[in-house]
Amino acid sequence: MGLTIDLQAIVANWQALAARAPAARAGAVVKADAYGLGAAKVAPALYAAGARDFYVALASEGRVLRPLLGGDARIFVFGGHMPGDDLTGLIPLLNSPEQFFRDRTLRRGEPFGIQLDSGMNRLGMEAAEWGAIRAEALAAEPSLIMSHLACADEPDHPANAAQLAAFRAMTDGTGVPRGLSATGGILLGPDYHFETVRPGVGLYGGLPFAEARPVVTLSLPVIQIRDVAAGEFVGYGATWTTDRPRRIATVNAGYADGLHRALTGSGACLWSDGHPAPIVGRVSMDLITADVTDLPRPPDVLEALNAQQTVDDLADRAGTIGYEILTSLGARYPRRYV
Ligand SMILES: *Cc1c(COP(=O)(O)O)cnc(C)c1O
């Protein structure tokens, strides 16, 4: 019952992605609580499997992880060095000359990295900003120079080659370890690998790593099953009406638990021993109704995520991406790590 997270599958996905970039040092992106799956469990499991580079969005996320990992683990912070950050034992990826000077004033001698903008225009120094501090930054021996691809999940998108060229132009000859690729970039091939790679979503079973092992199973307890006569409605707004007598199961989970209200009428199903039970009526905050008429036996539990319905399947139904399904998974489910 609840959310089952397969740590062995996460480790296997990390090993499989690392094997796609054999010349690079593979880290793991564990921001946003390891995409909602629990960084305090995921990061130590990956450390035990040999991962030594971890990436978070915020210094506060790094603070939580630092005591859970060995001293040889490096924890990089994408957000860089913001005023008031406690970066002890962490490695900020400095995003602007302002961050660079703040960091070098407050943390002289401590490790740092540089994040460059190669075209995404989200985070990182522009070529001119980098040029202005480059000599001073290189003299201080950064641990890593990295950038991020905007379209790596679309292998034919021209932005990939353009960003690769821009990144090379800014970093060739620096002699500093480089990193450009997350999950999608790893799959683009060796030109994109450099010395480090940093997969995120692929570790957690999501696209664009199509060969990923599924990581999450979400089993929901059935509270009630009722027989509904033809012509009656189910749920808020009376938006769904039975065409014939139907058996309806109500499970204890809803949009407050990350099962988006947009799943209403989407064709998404709940599952019992491999058999689908279509979600009918509106998804409410704590409850979902499913049509179990055609199941071989009345279910005690119904699954929302399993091998038949992955995070990306559910995301398609809800009009979003697997990343958002994962990071929305609520805190109300009992969690079990296997
Ligand atoms: C989130 C993120 C990643 C991981 O991306 P995935 O697509 O989940 O593999 C890597 N690098 C940066 C800068 C990120 O923000």
| 193, 57: one domain | yes
Could you report the per-residue pLDDT of 201-216, keeping only the tens digit for each? 999 999 999 999 999 9
Please say which residue of 174, 204, 234 terminates a domain.
204
Quick check: is 31 catalytic? yes
Quick check: is 236 catalytic? yes
Instruction: Report residues whose beta carbon is within 6 angstroms of any ligand 1 atom.
Output: 29, 31, 78, 148, 182-184, 198-202
CATH code: domain of residue 229: 2.40.37.10
| 133, 251: one domain | no
Number of structural domains found in the chain: 2
pLDDT at residue 296, rounded to an integer = 96
Amino acid at 14: W
pLDDT at residue 1, rounded to an integer = 78
Q: How is 20-77 classified by DSSP, letter by letter?
A: HSTTSEE-EE-HHHHHTT-HHHHHHHHHHTT--EEEESSHHHHHHHGGGS-TT-EEEE
Could you report the per-residue pLDDT of 154-185, keeping only the tens digit for each? 999 999 999 999 999 999 999 999 999 999 99
Under the banding of pLDDT at 50, 70 and 90, the label for residue 197 is very high
| 229, 272: one domain | yes
Q: Is the pLDDT confidence value at 331 over 90?
A: no
| 187, 227: one domain | no
| 173, 45: one domain | yes
| 44, 104: one domain | yes
**Which residue's alpha carbon is at the smallest distance from atom 4 of ligand 1?**
200
Q: Is residue 211 part of a domain?
A: no
Cα radius of gyration (the chain): 23
Q: What is the pTM of this model?
A: 0.96
CATH code: domain of residue 175: 3.20.20.10
Mean pLDDT score of the chain, rounded to an integer? 97
| 191, 120: one domain | yes
What domain range is 133 assigned to?
Answer: 7-204
Q: Where are the alpha helices (DSSP H) in 59-126?
A: 59-65, 97-106
Could you report the per-residue pLDDT of 75-91, keeping only the tens digit for each? 999 999 999 999 999 99
How far, in Å, are 225, 235, 241, 281, 296 from residue 238 at the CA level?
Answer: 18, 6, 7, 7, 27
State how far the Cα of 272 lies from the Cα of 274, in Å rounded to an integer: 5
